[in-house]
Structure 1
Amino acid sequence: MASNVNSIITSGDLGGGLIPTEYANQIIQDAPKSSVSLTRMRQIRMSTRTRVQPVLDSKPLAYWVGGDTGLKQTTKMKWSGLSITAEEMAAIVPIPEAVIADSGIPLWSEVQPRLAAALGYKLDQATLFGVDKPASFPDGIIPQAIAAGNTLTQGKDLAKDVASMGQKLAEQGFAMNGFASQPGLNWQLIGLRNANGSPIYVPSLASGTPSTLYGFGLNEVTNGAWDTTKALLLGADWSNFVVGIRQDITYKMLDQAVITDDDGKVVLNLAQQDCVAMRVVFRVGFQIANPINDVQPDKTKRFPAYVIQPAGTTGA
C-alpha cells in the first residue's frame, strides 16, 4: 500500500468559522483641522442676532488761525454702522441604537470633533472665498482683495513677493500682521532668506503654535476650504475681519425627534426606529471693516488684505 504524505488541513478545510477575523478598535484617520477664521480674525460676542458696530468714516481736521483776531473753523467726525448678523450652521448625525451597541469603538467621541471641523470648514469657505455664504455675509476676503487690485502673481522670488505685500498694504494704511496659505506652502518657504541672509520662515516648534513668516503667524488652511486655483498666500491686517459669535458650538443628543425632508416627509423617526442622533448648532456672523486711516483716506483705494496668486492666474 502506497504511503500518503499529501494530506494536510488548510484554512479552506475549516469552513471559515474556526479562524476568527480580528477587527481593530481604532480608526486610521487624520486629525480634525481647525478654522483659520476662528484662529486669526477678531472675535466679538453678540447678545442679539444682529449687532451694529460703529466704524470711523471721517476724521476731524485742524486749521491755522489767521492773525490775533482770526476766526476758528469748525470740524466734525463721522461714523458708519457696520452690521453683523449671526447665521446658523447645523447638522444632525443619526445612528441606530443597535449599531452603537455593537460597535467596537465609541462612535460619538469620533463624530463630535468631526462635526466641529465641518463647521470650521464651512465658515472658512464663506469668509475666505465667499463660497456658499449666507446673504448677510460680505463677499469673501480673497475675491474682494483681488477686486480691489491687491494682488500679485507669484514670481521667482517668493520672499520678495511677501515683502512687497507688506509694503503695498502699508501704503494703504494697514499693518500686515499675519498670513493664511494653501497647504504645503511651508515647503516653498523653507530656506528662503531676506536681504540680510536671515530666514524669513520659522517652522512651528510647539503644538498649537503657528509657524511664522517675517515674524508674523502663518496658518496653512488644511481643512479643505482653501482654493489653490485662486490664491497661494493671503496677508492681512486681521483686526479688520470680524467674526461675531452669538452661540458657541453646542451639541445635543436626540432620541425622540422626527427627521423630515424639505417636503415635510418623515425620513427617520428616532423613537420608532430605535435611533439616537447628535445635533450640532453654531450661530456666527462675519463682516469686514475698512475704517478711514491717515495714509489712505479714500475707501475705494484701500483694503486690509493682499493676495499672492499662483503663476499663470489672470484674475479671480
Structure 2
Amino acid sequence: MAGFAEIVGRAEVTDQLIPDQHINEILQTTPEDSVVLSRAKQVRMSSKKAKQPVLASLPEAYWVDGDTGLKQTDSVSWKGITMTAEELAVIVPIPDAVIDDSNVPLWDEIKPLLKEAIGKKVDQATLFGTDKPASWPEAIVPAAIKAGNVSQLSATNNLADAFLETAAKASEGGFGVNGFLATPGLNWRLRGLKDKNGQPLFGSPTAGGNSTLYGYTLDEVRNGAWNTAAATGIALDWSKFVVGVRQDITYDIFKEGVISDSTGKVVLNLMQQDTKALRVVFRVGFQTAVPMTRLGGSYPAGVITPAAA
C-alpha cells in the first residue's frame, strides 16, 4: 500500500511541475464570404444613393410596304432605379489582459470572422429579406415566389427536376440563368441521384463543397445565412442583381473612448477598464434591375421550395 501511495504522490507532483503546452493556433471553421457580394454585379458608389438606368421599352421593326413604302419609327425608353448604401457595423472589445496573455494574434483571428458576419447579414437581407434595410428592394426568394418562378420538391419532383423546372421558369421570361445557390450539403444530395442504370447523374463536388450544375456555378451558402424553411435552391441571372459598395470593409482599433447603449448609458470605458475595441464598418447597397425583355419576363430568378411537411 505504501508503494501505491508513493506512485500517486509522484503523479500529482509531476502534473503540477510540468507546464501546459500552448498550441499557437485556434481551431475554427474557415470563414465564408458573402455569395451575393462575390457573384452579383458590383459597382462602386460615390455617394449614398446611385441611380441605375434600366431598359423600360423595346423598339419594334416593321415591314416596308413595297418599293416606295414608308419606314416607320419607334422609340426606346429607360427608367431609373435607385440604390441606397446602408451601413453595417459592429464593435468587439477585448481586455488588454486577454490580449497580453494570448499566444495567438487575436485581432488577426477575429477580422475574418467579422467579415463573415457582415457577409451573412448581406446574404440574409438580399436572399431572404431577413433584417433587410427598408430602402432595399424585395429579397430574391420572396420576389421569385411572388412572380410564380417556383418549383416545390415532392415524391415525384426530385432535386434534378426541380432545378431544371425553376431555371426554365426564370428563363421563359427572357433572362439568362447563369448560376445556382443551394442549402449547405446539397452538392452531396445531388451526388446521390442515380439514373435508371444506377449511375450518378452528377459528378462529385469539388474541394470546399462548391461545384457546377448543368455547366453553371453551384454555390452552397455556408455562412449561416441560408433559410432552409424558405428555400432549398435558387436559379438566377446574376447580371440582373447589383451590389453597390460605398465603403469597403474597414477595421479600426481603439484604446480610448466609451461604448454606450441606446439610452446613452456608458457600458464600457476603454481607458478606465484597460480594454481595446475593434470596430468594423461596411457600407453597401443592393438593387434588382429587371429590364424589359422580348418575352416579357417578370423576375430573373427562380426558387426551389422544400417538400410539404
8 Å contact 1:200–1:215 — kept in the other structure? no
Matched position secondary structure for 1:284: strand
* 1:184-199 paired onto structure 2 within 5 Å: 184-192=185-193
* Structure 1 unaligned regions, length at least 5: none
Partner residue of 2:6 out of 5, 8, 25: 8
Aligned residue identity for 1:310: P
8 Å contact 1:166–1:175 — kept in the other structure? no
Q: Quick check: 1:171 aligned with 2:169?
A: no
- Using the TM superposition, give the Cα deviation of residue 196 of structure 1 relative to its aligned residue in structure 2, in angstroms: 11
* 1:264-303 paired onto structure 2 within 5 Å: 264-296=264-296, 302-303=298-299
CA change 1:288–1:254 in 2 (3 A) is same
8 Å contact 2:45–2:246 — kept in the other structure? yes
> Which position in structure 2 is the counterpart of 1:110?
109
- Using the TM superposition, give the Cα deviation of residue 10 of structure 1 relative to its aligned residue in structure 2, in angstroms: 1.6
CA change 1:273–1:287 in 2 (3 A) is same
**How many angstroms apart in 1 are the aligned matches of 2:49 and 2:96?**
40
8 Å contact 2:290–2:300 — kept in the other structure? yes
**Per-residue CA distance 1:13-69 (angstroms, 9 max, x = gap):** 549743544444322211111111112211111111110000000012233344566
> Which position in structure 2 is the counterpart of 1:101?
100
**How many angstroms apart in 2 are the aligned matches of 1:7 and 1:246?**
71
**Comparing 20-29 and 190-199, the one that deviates more:** 190-199
8 Å contact 2:85–2:246 — kept in the other structure? yes
> Which position in structure 1 is the counterpart of 2:145?
146
* 1:10-25 paired onto structure 2 within 5 Å: 10=8, 14=13, 17-25=16-24
**How many angstroms apart in 1 are the aligned matches of 2:80 and 2:191?**
43
**How many angstroms apart in 2 are the aligned matches of 1:283 and 1:27?**
30
- Using the TM superposition, give the Cα deviation of residue 269 of structure 1 relative to its aligned residue in structure 2, in angstroms: 1.7
> Which position in structure 2 is the counterpart of 1:128?
127
* 1:211-226 paired onto structure 2 within 5 Å: 211-226=211-226
- Using the TM superposition, give the Cα deviation of residue 99 of structure 1 relative to its aligned residue in structure 2, in angstroms: 1.4
> Which position in structure 2 is the counterpart of 1:162?
163
CA change 1:286–1:194 in 2 (3 A) is farther
8 Å contact 1:203–1:212 — kept in the other structure? no
Q: TM-score, normalised by structure 1?
A: 0.88
CA change 1:13–1:253 in 2 (3 A) is closer
**How many angstroms apart in 2 are the aligned matches of 1:130 and 1:4?**
71
Q: TM-score, normalised by structure 2?
A: 0.90
- Using the TM superposition, give the Cα deviation of residue 201 of structure 1 relative to its aligned residue in structure 2, in angstroms: 3.4
**Per-residue CA distance 1:214-267 (angstroms, 9 max, x = gap):** 000000001110010111110001110111111111111111222111111111
**Comparing 113-122 and 191-200, the one that deviates more:** 191-200
- Using the TM superposition, give the Cα deviation of residue 158 of structure 1 relative to its aligned residue in structure 2, in angstroms: 2.2
Between Structure 1 and Structure 2, how many residues are aligned?
306
8 Å contact 2:251–2:281 — kept in the other structure? yes
* Structure 2 unaligned regions, length at least 5: none
8 Å contact 2:186–2:220 — kept in the other structure? yes
**How many angstroms apart in 2 are the aligned matches of 1:238 and 1:206?**
23
> Which position in structure 2 is the counterpart of 1:75?
74
Matched position secondary structure for 1:183: coil
Aligned residue identity for 2:170: L
Identical-pair percentage: 52
8 Å contact 2:57–2:76 — kept in the other structure? yes
RMSD: 2.6
Aligned residue identity for 1:311: A
Matched position secondary structure for 2:17: coil
Q: Quick check: 1:119 aligned with 2:115?
A: no
**Comparing 57-66 and 102-111, the one that deviates more:** 57-66
- Using the TM superposition, give the Cα deviation of residue 203 of structure 1 relative to its aligned residue in structure 2, in angstroms: 4.1
> Which position in structure 2 is the counterpart of 1:257?
257
8 Å contact 1:200–1:214 — kept in the other structure? no
